[in-house]
């Protein structure tokens, strides 16, 4: 069965680009906000989350905190356009499996995702 990846980003172009990169290998679901992501995570079987840190409303760190509170133990790779080391370090301390700085090279994204699925 094909692995399912939830991509969470408030930027429609980033969602489209990430989908184009991943859809040949994985089933891709999309969310444009942290709240929408949490709803999909409750309703869908998701194997991995690609989560943007910088979103309006509920940012990626807050979304990840809510996932943990809800007992969702799904691997998360954070996507960040900011160079803020604090955000990345916070995410890793909270249990994120990896991160990728935007804009990313398609090959880098695929390698990070494949590496995570090889752990299973």
> Please, which pLDDT band fits residue 91 given cuts at 50, 70 and 90?
confident
> Please, which pLDDT band fits residue 84 given cuts at 50, 70 and 90?
low
> Alpha-carbon distance 91 to 76, whole Å?
9
Q: What Cα–Cα distance (Å) separates residue 6 from each residue in 21, 85, 108?
A: 13, 24, 17
The larger pLDDT score, comparing residue 87 to residue 62, is at 62
Residue from 23, 55, 20 nearest 37 by CA = 55
pLDDT digits (tens, 9 = 90+) for 10-49: 999 999 999 999 999 999 999 999 999 999 999 999 999 9
Print the SS3 string covering 46-62.
Answer: CCEEEEECCCCCCCHHH
| pLDDT for res 83 | 63
| pLDDT for res 74 | 96
Contact 112, 77 (CB under 8 A): yes
Whether pTM > 0.85 for this model: the answer is yes
């Amino acid at each position: 069965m094909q692995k399912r990846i939830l991509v969470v980003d408030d930027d429609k172009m980033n969602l489209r680009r990430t989908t184009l990169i991943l859809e040949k290998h994985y089933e891709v679901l999309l969310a444009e906000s942290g709240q929408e992501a949490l709803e999909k995570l409750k309703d869908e079987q998701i194997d991995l989350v690609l989560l943007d840190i910088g979103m309006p409303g509920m940012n990626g760190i807050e979304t990840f905190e809510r996932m943990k509170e809800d007992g969702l133990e799904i691997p998360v790779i954070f996507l960040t356009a900011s160079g803020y080391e604090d955000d990345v370090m916070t995410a890793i301390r909270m249990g994120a499996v990896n991160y990728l700085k935007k804009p990313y090279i398609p090959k880098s994204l695929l390698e990070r995702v494949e590496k995570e699925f090889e752990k299973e």
